[in-house]
Amino acid sequence: MTTKGPAAATARAEVRESIAAKGHTVDNARAVAARLDAAFAAGDLARTPSMDLYLGDLRRALEQDDGERLGGKSAEAARFILRAIDRELDEA
């Protein structure tokens, strides 16, 4: 079910901006997760089973211990998952 309206369009645009932003993929991924959580909480976007799966995968890729830096495999996994989120975004 695709959510329609200006709030949904704004949320999708902001998520896509974060996905495409210059900077470290891990930081961009955290911004995407936070923006999607806010959009779901506000009712601007509807959760889909696929989106929930992708966000869960993204959160696992971003897990870290205190003081640990993420990069390499975490960044590669985040890039892959962000592409999936981008494709699913129009269904949310």
Closest CA to 30 of 72, 87, 84, 70: 70
Residue ranges of domains in the chain: 6-91
pLDDT for 2 = 79
DSSP letter at 77 equals H
Can you give the pLDDT of all 92 residues of the chain as single tens digits?
678 999 999 999 999 999 999 988 888 999 999 999 999 999 999 999 999 999 999 988 887 645 555 455 677 888 999 999 999 999 98
pTM of the model: 0.86
So what's the pLDDT on residue 72? 58
